[in-house]
């Protein structure tokens, strides 16, 4: 009998020669457990998903309840099923009144795909603008607006008519013109290493889009659903999108995403051609039930209220002469070191010796990712930071007090 690890390596498609290879048997709250029962404190929420912790009892209950009724019934948008209908309503209630129509997908990248099509359909234009070092997904449309040539080179040709601007740089806004169908931007950039918009940047971007008639798509797939301390990150920056994207944390551990737009924009999918965007599984009833429970947990357990304080505790504790900077917005944080050569052994040591699971970022390999479940306690944050700093001191040979 081959072990799961052997089967994983032999038969499960690999995307690198150095997967983490950590075997997990179960998970609960902020912890994952290996087959030997060893706990791992999850500081990245797999990635940005477990905002309400692993296996939140209310999410499990909602899933169980739906399992007893029905699973998949029919392709998207034909039958009336309570879970997606109620979830769409609950999402709308968290949003500006204008964003009143929700299209459910299975993933973040599919939400991006749908939104890009919708923007082209609505404006009749083809130009797309996105940011350097933005990550929007791996399918061909989403990859086209992802801001990394390294990730795209081998897969060209991709979508034509895509231009990239520098996040937080106002000079790039002139590339947004009457030719632009949409600008897609992460409200807080994730894979770029957590880049928070500077004062006025998103307002200027919003104004430019409005002035030229381009739609503004905010990708909150990583930074939404409470991660930054408000339900949606854009609430902190005084702007509203034309299309909003969500996924990841939305499902409380189940796969689901959505793009959300005003009815009159979404109506583009109804004609020329009819059935302009289709999916078999998008809005799966079990995922929708889980997402509605997740939304209610965030609201009713007042998880948002604790985020700022927890982030501040991380910032207070993560001090070390080897740390160059701590960036972040709520519990989406990056701890910067000199280089990947310094950071990688810290991540490895934290996992192997301390049982702490962290990571770096796709487009920022000198920074440690901190994005724990929002349910993490102050005691767990202290435990995590002490352990992380022990790993930093061990790897760098510098003592914490030497700052």
Q: Which residues bind ligand PMP (CB under 6 A)?
A: 107-109, 112, 135-137, 186, 190-191, 219, 221-222, 247-248
> What are phi and psi for residue 284, nearest 5 degrees?
-50, 135
Separation CA 216–CA 201 (nearest Å): 13
Which is nearer to ligand PMP, 112 or 391 (by Cβ)?
A: 112
SS3 content of the chain, % helix, strand, coil (to 5): 40, 15, 40
> CB of 255: closest distance to ligand PMP in angstroms?
8
> CB of 219: closest distance to ligand PMP in angstroms?
5
Separation CA 205–CA 199 (nearest Å): 12
Separation CA 50–CA 30 (nearest Å): 8
Sign of CA dihedral 148, 201, 259, 300: positive
Q: Which residues pair with 334 in a beta bridge?
A: 327, 369
Which is nearer to ligand PMP, 337 or 363 (by Cβ)?
A: 363
Radius of gyration, CA atoms only, the chain: 21
Per-residue DSSP letters for 120-164? HHHH---EEEEETT----SSHHHHHHSS-HHHHGGG-S--SSEEE
> CB of 211: closest distance to ligand PMP in angstroms?
26
> CB of 247: closest distance to ligand PMP in angstroms?
5
Angle CA 202–206–212, to nearest 5 = 145
Which is nearer to ligand PMP, 76 or 259 (by Cβ)?
A: 259
> CB of 285: closest distance to ligand PMP in angstroms?
19
> CB of 296: closest distance to ligand PMP in angstroms?
22
> CB of 257: closest distance to ligand PMP in angstroms?
6
Structure tokens at 357: 């699971």
Which is nearer to ligand PMP, 83 or 251 (by Cβ)?
A: 251
Which is nearer to ligand PMP, 45 or 222 (by Cβ)?
A: 222
Helix 57-67 × helix 285-300 angle, to 10°? 150
CA distances to 74, 129, 146, 180, 201 from 165, rounded to whole Å, are 41, 7, 11, 13, 13
Which is nearer to ligand PMP, 47 or 212 (by Cβ)?
A: 47
State the residue number with the nearest CB to ligand PMP: 108
Which is nearer to ligand PMP, 249 or 355 (by Cβ)?
A: 249
Which is nearer to ligand PMP, 3 or 280 (by Cβ)?
A: 280
> CB of 227: closest distance to ligand PMP in angstroms?
11
Separation CA 47–CA 85 (nearest Å): 27
């Amino acid at each position: 009998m081959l072990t799961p690890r052997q089967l994983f390596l032999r038969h499960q498609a690999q995307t690198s020669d150095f997967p983490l290879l950590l075997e997990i048997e179960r998970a609960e709250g902020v912890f994952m457990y290996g087959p030997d029962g060893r706990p791992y404190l999850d500081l990245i929420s797999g990635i940005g998903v477990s905002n309400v912790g692993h296996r939140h009892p209310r999410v499990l209950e909602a899933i169980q309840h739906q399992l007893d009724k029905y699973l998949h019934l029919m392709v998207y948008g034909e039958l009336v099923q309570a879970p997606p209908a109620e979830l769409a309503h609950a999402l709308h209630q968290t949003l500006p009144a204008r964003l009143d129509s929700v299209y459910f997908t299975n993933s973040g990248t599919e939400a991006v795909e749908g939104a890009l099509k919708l923007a082209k359909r609505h404006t009749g234009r083809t130009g797309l603008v996105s940011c350097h070092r933005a990550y929007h997904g791996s399918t061909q449309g989403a990859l086209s607006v992802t801001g990394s040539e390294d990730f795209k080179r081998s897969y060209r040709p991709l979508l034509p008519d895509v231009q990239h601007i520098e996040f937080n740089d106002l000079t790039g806004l002139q590339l947004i013109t009457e030719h632009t169908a949409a600008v897609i931007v992460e409200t807080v950039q994730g894979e770029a290493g957590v880049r928070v918009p500077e004062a006025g940047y998103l307002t200027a971007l919003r104004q430019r889009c409005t002035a030229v008639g381009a739609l503004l798509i905010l990708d909150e797939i990583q930074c939404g659903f409470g991660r930054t301390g408000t339900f949606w990150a854009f609430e902190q920056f005084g702007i509203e999108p034309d299309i909003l994207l969500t996924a990841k944390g939305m499902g409380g551990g189940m796969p689901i995403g959505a793009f959300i737009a005003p009815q009159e924009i979404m109506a583009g999918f109804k004609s020329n051609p009819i059935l302009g965007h289709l999916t078999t599984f998008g809005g799966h009833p079990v995922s929708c039930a889980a997402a509605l429970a997740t939304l209610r947990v965030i609201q009713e357990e007042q998880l948002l209220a604790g985020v700022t304080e927890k982030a501040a505790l991380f910032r207070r504790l993560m001090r070390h002469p080897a740390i160059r900077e701590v960036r972040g917005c709520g519990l989406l944080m990056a701890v910067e070191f000199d280089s990947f050569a310094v950071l990688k052994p810290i991540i490895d040591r934290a996992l192997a010796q301390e049982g702490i699971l962290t990571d770096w970022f796709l487009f920022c390999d000198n920074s440690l990712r901190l994005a724990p479940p929002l349910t993490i306690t102050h005691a767990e944050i202290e435990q995590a930071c002490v352990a992380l700093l022990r790993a930093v001191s061990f790897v760098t040979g510098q003592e914490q007090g030497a700052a």
